Amino acid sequence: MNKITGKGYMQRIGGSLYIVLIFLLSACGNADSPKEVVLVDKPEEVPMVVSEQITELLHFLSSRDGFLNDSTQLKRVALLQEFYEAKKFQPVWSEADHWTAAGDSLFLTISQAKLNGLFPADYYHPYLLEIRNKMVLDSISRKNAVLWARADLLLSDACWKMAQDLKYGHLQRDSITIRKDTALTNQQQLQIIESILRTSQPATVLAELEPKHSGYQDLKKAIPGFLAKASFQPTDTLRFPAADSLQFVQQVAGKLKALGLLDSSWNAGDDSATYSKAVKKYQASKGIITTGVVAQLTVKSLNTTDWDYFKTIALNLDRYRQLPDTLPDTYVWVNLPAYRLKVVDFDTIALESKIIVGTPKTPTPVLNSAITNFITYPQWTVPYSIIFKEMLPKIRKDINYLAKENLMLVDKYDSVIAPETIDWEKVTRNNFPYLLRQRQGDDNSLGVMKFNFWNKYSVYLHDTNARSLFSKESRALSHGCVRVQEWEKLSHFLVRNNEIRYHPDTIRALIQRQEKKAIGDFPRVPIYIRYITAEGRDGKIQFFADIYEEDKRLKERYYASKSVNP
């Protein structure tokens, strides 16, 4: 390590000797590590010396693939070189022995990255905080040109990384990523940093890169309230089933008290109704069936730490960042974990509906498409996967199963075949040239209406003949299609601009006559089926159960290494 120490000695060194000192430091420096200390006594000479250190540090970083040390790697060394060369290698975030307003504001924005669902450590916050503390607490450190140079490069690189993450998130492109671009161009990144330097308002400049979708903005607005109550410290883990039921209740009560759902004076053995009410409030906030009884799902949720909940918030913000900058004026939005469908029409929610989605074994896929038509009194052709996994064992057991389920056997010519003429014991996927169709009517599994949109999974929206299931809180119950409670309102919305031909009474008359009719002469409406497990509602965050364990998979892949450091 290269050092020049001693305040009295430094006071005797004039600016004319600085070049000699730099030469000596360079000559005796270790080529495998950058300088740690180069002290400058006169504040007016700091920029010149910092400029020298920036030049040397960029050369070092270029030779080490951006690694400043074993734990810190700057990601955009080539862009840093281009940027600082244009600035004649002068520092841009500091002047003499203090940071500029832009530098201070950028450091604050990085410190508060959690407000954007980001992780401060991703933007060198621990390192920058260490440098800043040295500058504030130690007069000698304020004279260290190496620290000013490092801070400048770290702030610039952090600014670009934060801009990239706010715009595109951490998730890789997949089959439902709609936006075409995946990275900011060098020119865009340079313009961002110039805007921040000009305005000293990094938070405002960076906010322009974020999605404007209401779902994203509502979730982000609720983050401060979450952080105000969150504790990122380790917590006790509940064990279920519990050996000591009284102790278990007391432990649960402790967690509910910490969440503000139960009065701090309550103890196990007190009024059980108060405890049960608090449990129900917690279950409702997490999308768990509100039984008031703490069982496996509730224990799993209570054992989830605030840090894990924060990563859930970050993940869902990143899901929104996969969308384009703007969505169509009108679209259907299906959120699977929330069991909700909504129709957005010019920034207004035209209708909302409860939905039933696929089970974990037959999950509803996430996708992008457009509703092309809807059919009254549709016929259901049973997918082969359902025939052979679920129906065939029942048919073999009792041939009358087909009649009970209103199913008919048809050949490729759509001719009805008598089921008793088939040797069902010998039926396999390879020797079954038939289809099972359910006759249209109120007993049809599709109900009285089906909404079609192209997709490779053969799923669609539809009514159901089991409408009582909408009263359940956990509604992952279908084979993959989405059952819609407000199917009639959705049909009226689709033809709302053609009421002369399709007045609501016209559609109702078709249903009353049990008439099968395909209606498709309306503009196609985009549909987005998504998996969002955290939503902002009235300034608070509502979390939904990870019904398909997609959060678990993505957290392990993209967020496992994220640091809780402030």
pLDDT digits (tens, 9 = 90+) for 188-246: 999 999 999 999 999 999 999 999 999 999 999 999 999 998 888 777 889 888 888 88
Residue 271 domain flag: no
CA distance 256 to 281: 10
DSSP tag of 68 = E
Structure confidence at residue 174 (pLDDT): 77
| DSSP helix/strand/coil, 110 | helix
Residue 535 domain flag: no
pLDDT in tens, 73-129: 999 999 999 999 999 999 999 998 889 999 999 999 999 999 999 999 999 999 999
Token pair listed for 453? 């949109």
CA distance 106 to 158: 9
Question: Beta strand pairing status for 330-335 and 340-345?
Answer: antiparallel
How far lies 259's CA from each of 229, 239, 281, 496, in Å?
Answer: 8, 19, 11, 46
Mean pLDDT across 12-37: 51
- Catalytic annotation present for 159: no
Residue 106 domain flag: yes
Structure confidence at residue 15 (pLDDT): 42
Look at residue 18 and tell me whether its pLDDT is greater than 50: no
Which of 282, 317, 363 is CA-nearest to residue 542?
282
Domain boundary among 181, 210, 239: 210
Structure confidence at residue 194 (pLDDT): 97
Residue 101 domain flag: yes
**Do 524 and 372 contact (CB within 8 A), yes or no?**
yes
Domain boundary among 166, 187, 210: 210
CA distance 123 to 157: 8
Residue 296 domain flag: no
Domain boundary among 189, 210, 231: 210
Q: Which of 45-54, 296-305, 434-443 has the lowest mean pLDDT?
A: 434-443
Token pair listed for 554? 């993505």
Mean pLDDT across 35-57: 92
Mean pLDDT across 130-155: 94
Structure confidence at residue 414 (pLDDT): 82
Structure confidence at residue 32 (pLDDT): 67
* pTM score of the predicted model: 0.84
Structure confidence at residue 79 (pLDDT): 97
DSSP tag of 116 = G
Look at residue 344 and tell me whether its pLDDT is greater than 90: yes
Q: What percent of the chain has pLDDT over 90?
A: 61
Number of structural domains the chain divides into:
2
Residue 490 domain flag: no
- Catalytic annotation present for 125: no
Look at residue 460 and tell me whether its pLDDT is greater than 80: yes
All residues at 6 or more sequence positions from 262 whose CB lies less than 8 Å from its CB, including other chains: 253, 256, 274, 275, 278
CA distance 196 to 104: 11
Domain of 391 in residue numbering reads as 384-439
pLDDT in tens, 488-519: 999 999 999 887 788 888 888 988 898 899 99
Mean pLDDT across 174-196: 89
Structure confidence at residue 501 (pLDDT): 81
Token pair listed for 57? 């540090």
**Do 42 and 48 contact (CB within 8 A), yes or no?**
no
Q: Which of 125, 170, 213, 462 is catalytic?
A: 462
Look at residue 10 and tell me whether its pLDDT is greater than 50: no
Structure confidence at residue 428 (pLDDT): 87
Distance of CA 20 to the CA centre of its chain: 54
Structure confidence at residue 271 (pLDDT): 82
Residue 560 domain flag: no
Residue 159 domain flag: yes
